[in-house]
Amino acid sequence: MTYSIVARRQAPGRVLEPDQFGGEGWQALDVKGWDLCVRSLAGASSEDRFDTIDRLSCVVLGSPTNLARLRSVAAVFDSDAVTASVAKLFRILYAALGTPAFALVEGPFNYLEFTEDTVFAANDALGMQPLHIVKGRHLWLTSELKYVGRIEPGVFRFLPTQAVVESDNRPDDYLPIDNARRLKPGSCIRLFLDGAAHATANASTYHVPRLTIAQHLSPAEAKRWMADLLTEMVQSSVDTADRILIPLSGGLDSSMVTSLASRKRADIETFALGTGHSNEFPFARIVAEHVNTRHQEINFSSLDIVDGIDQAIFHNEIFDGLSAEIQSTLMCFYRSVGGQGARVVTGYGSDLLFGGVLDRTDSFENINARLWAQIYRTRWTGEFSPFGAAAFGLDVQHPFWRPALIGFATSLAPQMKMSERDVKIALRECAEECDLLPASIVWRKKIGIHEGSSVNAIFADHVGTSVKDYKQKTIYCYERYMSYLNGHAMPGENLK
């Protein structure tokens, strides 16, 4: 998988070299008018992700999950699509269908076309594969801002801390940086450079997600759709020659993913993650024994968790306290199991789709709006970005976080997300009726990913605040975010 790009308008006497970025997997590409480097997972090649077609230099980043289906569509327009490079496949689709072609792609991606004086770029509908434009002494396009900060120190004009923490109501292309722009999820942009190298950007959207009116589906029909979609998403995620590693808490979401994955492959490896404060090991064991996975238990120290928070801020460029907290255990997991030829598959995101974040005080008429606000929030937080896993040599897939499943779940009737009995009611009944899991797991009380191992309390103790004080946690994250992007510190170091 090729997952990161840094491109700079060429300047006399200045050339970007892969060794300037540190780490393995960087490769320079020959593109007229641009210095361009891409990064792939260790042992992976970027060969089919880069192609020159009709004087266009085409690049694909990320891990689109439905390439076989895309090839079958593209073959209608060009028979070469069946065997073409991934870059040429995207070019065929875009040339034939225009920007709506990108709505066909499942999974995180960027597609870029370079000429000497223009750049075209498109990203995935959910914003999982971010792309940024930075205007400093040079014009930059980059997946990860920290590499621009490393090459051009002091380039970023950060917003004041108070302006960042005072409100959580942000557009989905939000960045706390005055001279940087994040490409809006589900959109395309074309940059034109004039004779003096000044840039003009024209942007358009191909996918604008909105909250819709609730479906008029019977519970039985809704659960059939749910079962079919989940099966397709999970089993496509494990359809690879790589090892499959699943962080398994014993909660409903990771347990359903494990059960469905085990119906596709018999060699699933599961890992229960805990801390010295608490863990969910007994529940994870029940699931691992039920579906017969190779199962391990890993305990992290409080220092590990704090380092995981810092790793989340650094790699996924997260400045939001809640998102960094939630990602910390996954970062510790990536570090523990990292290596070539492995894919992590998670149950992350299900709570926002099916009601796991709800409580009995929520009124039914507001349930879908509340969940939609949480889904929209993920489009700027960085929590679904691939860079944390990739830093440790891993590809990561989140089967719940696919446009088809999100579109279905957001329009489910509120009564299927919460009842007098419990939250996530339809998802629980679906798991029970499909005989995926024991009843003790299906009807287990919901616990957040950051609560089951007391990560929220560990973070609060480290910051010196209360467990629910996410303003102070965000201030902590934003201070590190600024320092990391400026190249002043690395995770594990004191801020300068």
| Residue 13 confidence class, pLDDT cut points 50, 70, 90 | low
pLDDT at 313 over 70: yes
The tens digit of pLDDT for each residue in 23-39 reads 789 999 989 889 999 99
| Residue 9 confidence class, pLDDT cut points 50, 70, 90 | confident
Give the pLDDT mean for 357-378. 92
Q: Which pair of tokens denotes residue 323? A: 């998102």
Give the pLDDT mean for 314-340. 95
pLDDT at 496 over 60: no
Nearest to 67 by CA among 239, 189, 231, 246: 239
By DSSP bridging, strand 269-275 and strand 294-300 are parallel
d(CA 412, CA 371): 11
Give the pLDDT mean for 291-295. 97
| Residue 465 confidence class, pLDDT cut points 50, 70, 90 | very high
Tell me what pLDDT residue 214 has: 85
Cα distances (Å, whole numbers) of residue 439 to 344, 392, 428: 26, 36, 9
Tell me what pLDDT residue 478 has: 98
Active site residues: 348, 383
Q: Contact, 49 vs 87, CB < 8 A?
A: yes
Q: Phi and psi dihedrals of 191, rounded to 5?
A: -100, 130
Percentage of the chain beyond pLDDT 90 is: 80
The tens digit of pLDDT for each residue in 162-218 reads 999 998 899 999 999 999 999 999 999 999 987 777 788 899 999 988 888 888 889
Going edge to edge, which strands form the sheet with 26-31? 26-31, 34-40, 2-9, 139-142, 132-135, 180-182
d(CA 5, CA 29): 10
Of 286-295, 363-372, 472-481, the range with the lowest mean pLDDT is 363-372
Tell me what pLDDT residue 452 has: 63
Tell me what pLDDT residue 449 has: 62
Nearest to 340 by CA among 406, 392, 267: 392
Tell me what pLDDT residue 278 has: 86
Give the pLDDT mean for 357-367. 88
Tokens 């960085």: give the residue. Answer: 382
The tens digit of pLDDT for each residue in 485-494 reads 998 888 987 7
Tell me what pLDDT residue 361 has: 84
d(CA 293, CA 289): 7
| Residue 297 confidence class, pLDDT cut points 50, 70, 90 | very high
Tell me what pLDDT residue 414 has: 93
Nearest to 424 by CA among 438, 399, 441: 441
Percentage of the chain beyond pLDDT 70 is: 98
Hey, what long-range contacts does 356-361 have (CB within 8 A, 24 or more apart)? 356/252, 356/253, 356/423, 356/424, 356/446, 358/417, 358/418, 358/423, 359/423, 360/418
Give the pLDDT mean for 288-315. 96
The tens digit of pLDDT for each residue in 105-139 reads 999 999 999 998 899 999 999 999 999 999 999 89
> What is the pTM assigned to this prediction?
0.94
d(CA 478, CA 493): 15
The tens digit of pLDDT for each residue in 74-102 reads 999 999 999 999 999 999 999 999 999 99
Of 41-45, 318-322, 446-450, the range with the lowest mean pLDDT is 446-450
> What is the overall mean pLDDT for the chain?
93
